[in-house]
């Protein structure tokens, strides 16, 4: 799971945290399914994409790539603060100090 695995997928694939989280969740699901004799399995291929905000200290860029193409959108000044806000949200929601936004 995570950096220790060989990811299948397109040449541009990247090992990002969200893929490791999906892998961990799906491994637990698959082990449970096997122990119950179920044939149902979950994988990670539908989650292969690149999605990040790259902070440059005084700005940032939103980067997205999937099998249909990619985008990079410069976000001067506001991007830096969005990245800091996202970091605060991630840390505090995972520590259960604030509610997690559904779907994130």
pLDDT in tens, 37-79: 999 999 888 777 788 888 888 889 999 988 888 999 999 888 8
Spell out the alpha helix ranges (H) of 16-77.
17-35
- Which pLDDT band holds residue 3 (cuts at 50, 70, 90)? low
Q: How far is CA 85 from the centre of its chain?
A: 17
Q: Please give the helix or strand (H or E) that residue 2 lies within, else none.
A: none
Residue 24: strand, helix, or coil: helix
pTM of the complete model: 0.56
- Which pLDDT band holds residue 98 (cuts at 50, 70, 90)? very high
The answer to whether 31 touches 1, Cβ cutoff 8 Å, is: no
Round to whole Å and give the CA distance between 21 and 40: 19
């Amino acid at each position: 799971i995570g950096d220790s695995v060989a990811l299948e997928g397109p040449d541009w694939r990247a090992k990002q945290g969200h893929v490791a989280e999906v892998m961990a969740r799906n491994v637990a699901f698959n082990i449970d399914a096997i122990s119950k004799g179920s044939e149902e399995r979950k994988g990670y291929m539908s989650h292969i994409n690149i999605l990040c905000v790259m902070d440059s200290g005084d700005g940032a860029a939103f980067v997205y790539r999937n099998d249909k193409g990619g985008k990079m959108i410069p976000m001067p000044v506001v991007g830096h603060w969005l990245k800091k806000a996202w970091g605060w949200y991630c840390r505090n929601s995972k520590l259960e100090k604030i509610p997690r936004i559904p779907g994130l």
